[in-house]
Structure 1
Amino acid sequence: MTINLISDTVTQPTAAMREAMFGAQVGDDVFRQDPTVNALEAKAAALFGKAAALYCPSGTMTNQIAIKCHTQPLDEVICDESSHIYQYETGGYSFHSGVAINLLSGTNGKISAAQLAAAIKPRYDWLPISRLVVIENTCNKGGGS
């Protein structure tokens, strides 16, 4: 059996998975009435020892929530030039969080500690604050490295 992990967009559910989806109890998640989502969030929270968890239907949504949680408008996010947030999320970091981006040229999506240290800006009123570093594991434009 070959398992393709290049992207979540190439996966296909098995017949058993489709049957489970078809037979799943559903409810309105906005009102916390979906038992399947509630059970998934409770299981994830327990696995990680947290009080709660949040199900996000896409990696892009998860990335944008994380950026918003860790930054303020006018901050700067540092990442590799081949990162998913830069290449595939249509400027969501700027639209949703009002942050600038500082692109580094790494190797297969990997940036070095020296590159990172050099990229962090000094604190001046006219420069964005280097607030967040985004490191992907794995980097799909880096060939999954």
Structure 2
Amino acid sequence: MVIDLRSDTVTHPTPAMREAMWKAEVGDDVFGEDTSVTKLEEKCAVLLGMEAAVFCPSGTMTNQIGINILTQPYDEVICYKGAHIYKYEGGGLAGNSLVSVRLIEGDRGRLNPADVTANLNSNDQHYPRTSVVALENTVVREAGSYY
């Protein structure tokens, strides 16, 4: 068996998984009629001690929602120059959240706290407010390095 860990987009369901999907009850999630999604969200909310949860079908969607929640338009996000959210999400940070990005160097994708501190914007109204420092763990494009 070959295990391909390049991306979640290259995985394929097993025959048993395909059968389970075929037999699964389906419904329209917009109307609260998809019991599989509803049960998954409820289970995750309980597991994490939260009031509710929302299912996101992709990492990109999850990243974009997270950045949008944590920022305001015209804020700035600091991230590694090769970060997935910058290079591989179609300009979503600017397009979806209206934020700019400050790219900084890192050791195999890992940001040095001193470099982050040196790149934080002041409260000067002429600069975008730094509201998020995005860390990627693991950094797939950097041989799987981690913090």
TM-score for the superposition, normalised by structure 1: 0.96
Query: For residue 114 of structure 2, what is the aligned residue in structure 1?
Result: 114
Query: For residue 126 of structure 2, what is the aligned residue in structure 1?
Result: 126
Unaligned runs of 5+ in 1: none
Q: CA deviation at 1:2?
A: 4.6
- 2:5 is matched by which residue type in structure 1? L
CA contact (8 A) 1:80 1:110 kept: yes
CA RMSD of aligned residues (A): 1.0
Q: Counterparts of 1:4-43 in structure 2 under 5 Å?
A: 4-43=4-43
Q: Counterparts of 1:1-80 in structure 2 under 5 Å?
A: 1-80=1-80
Structure-2 separation of matches of 1:74 and 1:109: 25
CA contact (8 A) 1:76 1:130 kept: yes
**2:40 partner SS:** helix
Unaligned runs of 5+ in 2: none
Structure-1 separation of matches of 2:24 and 2:134: 35
Q: CA deviation at 1:4?
A: 2.8
Q: Report sequence identity in percent.
A: 50
CA contact (8 A) 1:6 1:144 kept: no
CA displacement, residues 89-128 of structure 1 (integer Å, 9 cap, x when unaligned): 0110001111000001112211011111111011111100
- 1:61 is matched by which residue type in structure 2? M
Structure-2 separation of matches of 1:114 and 1:42: 40
**1:74 partner SS:** coil
4+ aligned runs moved over 2 Å, structure 1: 1-6
Structure-1 separation of matches of 2:75 and 2:13: 40
Distance 1:135 1:78, change over 3 A: same
Structure-2 separation of matches of 1:3 and 1:137: 20
Structure-1 separation of matches of 2:48 and 2:104: 32
Q: CA deviation at 1:144?
A: 2.0
Structure-2 separation of matches of 1:137 and 1:3: 20
